[in-house]
Amino acid sequence: MLIDCGEGTQIQLRKFKLKFSKIDYIFISHLHGDHFFGLMGLISSFHLNKRTRLLTIFGPNGLDEIITVQLKHSNTRLNFPLRFVPTNPENEELILEEKKFQVLTFPLKHRIACTGFLIKEKSGLRNLIKEKLLENKLPLEAINSLRQGKDFKDESENVIYSVKEYTHPPRPLRSYAFCSDTGFDMEIVKYIKGASLLYHEATFGNEEKERARETFHSTAADAGVIARNAMVGKLLLGHYSTRYLDLSPLLEEARAEFPETYLSEEGITYTLD
């Protein structure tokens, strides 16, 4: 999965040795150039590298027209199928359902239609307690039921083998929320509540609070307030104004609101606990 695709995306992918041929889903938050100007180049590279696998792009209305016009006037017939799925900038919406995860969109407060993305891990099969299996020889039907997180019962609905007794507790499911360009908006909280990791723009410091409001952007402190109220695990700041050569003041302002805050930096991997 790739979220947003600004100019220079391919350079960065190659620089950090990421196998971007494996990308099957691209999510574009909105149609400002720094979030999608690298998309056509990436599509072209897939084509030149003889990709044959389906590529699905999720984005705002109008992005499909932009892609189509460029392919039309360059007389390009792609080697691979390309599917476009429009996003809804007004309401929360489930846009992708896979075996191990799902992706939802939610509205952001920006100058043009803009959506955030929430990637949620789905429950997998439970691990059985080996010692219990050695004590009792369970039928295959019971094992399948327990691994799916269901007690195994008899015809009278009496529990014969309980999930609690025969399986290890599942680890907490992980989730990642992405808020690209947005003004300070407490409405976001309900969509990202409890996310393991939140990326939230932090374009300005507190001294530019009015500028942030005028341009529908956020301060680092705004991001911290959102993270605190949403009770997320960690906060990643990003989308910094180029005026800030030293990002430490932004980090300090956000941490004053939410201690588990970090600067997103190029080439760094961030884990979801």
pLDDT score, position 233? 96
Report the CATH superfamily, name and number, of domain 88-123+171-273.
Answer: Ribonuclease Z/Hydroxyacylglutathione hydrolase-like (3.60.15.10)
At 245-256, the pLDDT tens digits run 999 999 999 999
Cα distance between residue 181 and residue 30, in whole Å: 8
At 39-90, the pLDDT tens digits run 999 999 999 999 999 999 999 999 999 999 999 999 999 999 999 999 999 9
pLDDT score, position 257? 98
Above 80 in pLDDT, residue 273?
Answer: no
- What are the extents of the domains in the chain? 1-86, 88-123+171-273, 130-166
At 19-39, the pLDDT tens digits run 989 999 999 999 999 999 999
Told to judge if 34 belongs to the known catalytic residues of this protein, a careful annotator would answer yes
Contact yes or no for 101/121 (Cβ under 8 A) = yes
Catalytic residue among 4, 24, 34, 185: 34
DSSP 168: P
> What DSSP assignment string belongs to 130-194?
HHHHHHS---HHHHHHHHTT--EE-TT--EEE-HHHHBPPPPPPPEEEEE-S----GGGHHHHTT
CA 27 → CA 3, 4, 47, distances in Å?
A: 5, 6, 19
pTM reported for the whole predicted model: 0.89
Which pair of structure tokens corresponds to residue 156?
Answer: 């009278």
Above 90 in pLDDT, residue 136?
Answer: no
Residue 155: pLDDT band by 50, 70, 90 thresholds? confident
Cα distance between residue 29 and residue 35, in whole Å: 7
